Each structure stands twice: as C-alpha cells, then as structure tokens.
Amino acid sequence: MGSKKYLLLTPDELRRVLKAFGFVRKRTRGDHEQWEGMTNEKRRVITVQLISGEYSIDRMKTIIQNMDITADEFYGQDESIAKRYFGKK
C-alpha cells in the first residue's frame, strides 16, 4: 500500500483533505494560506500555495510527511480523491 505513487492535487482538493482532518485556515498572506490542525496528537501547520493546476509530486510528498501520516491515510479522507488513489473496488 505504501508504494503507491503520490496523487497530484489542486489547491481546492488539498483544502478538502485538510478540512476532513479538522484543519482550519488561520491566515492568508499573498498567494499562501496557513492551515492549522492536529495529527498524531501534535499541532501541525500546512501551507497551501494558491496556484493554478496541480502540485508537484515533491510538494505532495512534503505535505504528507509534514502531517506525519501515510499517503493512504491522507488520500483516504476524501471519497472522490480516495477513488482516484485506490482505484475502484
């Protein structure tokens, strides 16, 4: 399961996943938003860069690592994203 490639998300999709984890937007400065929440009993701050299109694989990997969760946990939080990530069962 952990060997799946990272799925590229848009800023709107990333926000949906963050909201599903209980993160809230704390501030916006320029073309960046700061989202704050808890994973594994630790406070996390995730930056959402407001771009058009999708984030790179490196950016997705960094976000998931900063949240200290697995890619499966991350992509499994949103039903439509999970279908793309895990495939239809």
Backbone angles phi, psi at 80, to 5 degrees: -70, -35
The H or E element spanning position 64 is helix 57-67
37: domain CATH number is 3.30.920.30
pLDDT of residue 52: 94
pLDDT of residue 3: 43
Per-residue pLDDT of 20-72, as tens digits, reads 999 999 999 999 999 999 999 999 999 999 999 999 999 999 999 999 999 99
pLDDT over 70 (residue 84): yes
pLDDT over 80 (residue 6): yes
Report the number of distinct structural domains present in the chain.
Answer: 1
37 neighbors 21 (Cβ within 8 angstroms)? yes
Residue 6 counted as domain residue: no
Which residue in 73, 59, 60 sits closest to 1, CA to CA? 73
pLDDT over 90 (residue 88): no
pLDDT of residue 87: 87
**Rounded Cα–Cα distance for residues 77 and 51 (Å):** 22
Question: Which residues neighbour 41 within 8 Å (Cβ) at sequence distance 6 or greater?
Answer: none
